[in-house]
Amino acid sequence: MRILLVEDDLEQLEPLQGILSEAGYIVDAAEDGEIAQWLISQKNYDLLIVDWMLPTISGLSLCRQYRLSGKNAPVLMLTAKDTTADKVMGLDAGADDYLVKPADLVELLARVRALGRRVPNWQGYSLRIADLQLHLAELSVERSQVKVELSPREGQLLEYLMRHPNQVLTRNQIEDALWECGMEPESNALTVLIRKLRQRLQLLGAGDWIRTVYGMGYRLNPQESN
């Protein structure tokens, strides 16, 4: 899951970015509203975590503009503004959740997981497509009671494909989803990663679920077991 974290206080931004990355999320960070606005115009995010009081563009304005643009990823507002009126204003601006600083990190991660589950193919703490189940917390994929471990990057790739089943995804779309802003993958990095993930899925009899669409990209083509 790709997250945009917007926080102007570096003493809070850097540790929080590290904790979210350790939890397996791909995290882009912005220190002000203007940078966040540019990142939003360049990338598709699965979740935004936004401070209210930001330089250049406030988190409240950023949230309103995000909703007016038609984008619908969940927004978690993380702010020191703690009155009931503040919370109402934040939620009415388009935030899906509201957490007051200083936030308990365990609670914050739980709220991130909860917001990330707002896709139809979530079941419990796993993503499920047909009879293939991805356990994100333990980085494993399971089918017919056989479980295979994944590397963090393999897990991120499979998660992205499972969130967009039956869709042709271009190489640029996949690279944008998996690599943080400012990180340029090597030219063959995605090809190698796709091959490794296919090898893992082959152990479950699902290696051919990832189809190459020549000249375009890749598509996850789920198949029910016989």
Q: Give tens-digit pLDDT for 139-197.
A: 899 999 899 999 989 999 999 999 888 899 999 889 988 887 777 788 899 999 999 99
**Cβ–Cβ < 8 Å for 163, 127:** yes
Compute the average pLDDT of residues 12-17.
91
Torsion, Cα of 124, 4, 73, 218 (10° steps): -80
Identify the residue whose tokens are 């375009």: 216
Identify the residue whose tokens are 């957490």: 99
The answer, yes or no, to whether residue 44 has pLDDT greater than 90, is no
Top pLDDT among 42 and 84 is at 84
The answer, yes or no, to whether residue 64 has pLDDT greater than 50, is yes
Domains of the chain and CATH, by start: 2-117 (3.40.50.2300), 126-220 (1.10.10.10)
Judged by phi (left if over 0) then psi (alpha if -120 to 50, else beta), residue 134 lies in beta
Three-state DSSP state, 225: coil
At position 158, the amino acid (one-letter code) is L
- The angle at the Cα of 155, spanning 50 to 163, to the nearest 5 degrees, equals 65
Write down the pLDDT at residue 121.
Answer: 56
Write down the pLDDT at residue 126.
Answer: 81
List all residues 6 or more positions away from 136 whose beta carbon is below 8 Å from its beta carbon.
24, 125, 126, 127, 155, 159
**Cβ–Cβ < 8 Å for 153, 194:** no
Q: What is the pTM of this model?
A: 0.74
Write down the pLDDT at residue 226.
Answer: 45
Write down the pLDDT at residue 124.
Answer: 59
Judged by phi (left if over 0) then psi (alpha if -120 to 50, else beta), residue 182 lies in left
Write down the pLDDT at residue 23.
Answer: 85
Q: Give tens-digit pLDDT for 76-130.
A: 999 999 999 999 999 999 999 999 998 899 999 999 988 887 765 565 578 888 8
* Alpha-carbon span 22 to 153, nearest angstrom: 12
The neighbouring-strand residues paired with 217 are 170, 213
* Alpha-carbon span 213 to 159, nearest angstrom: 19
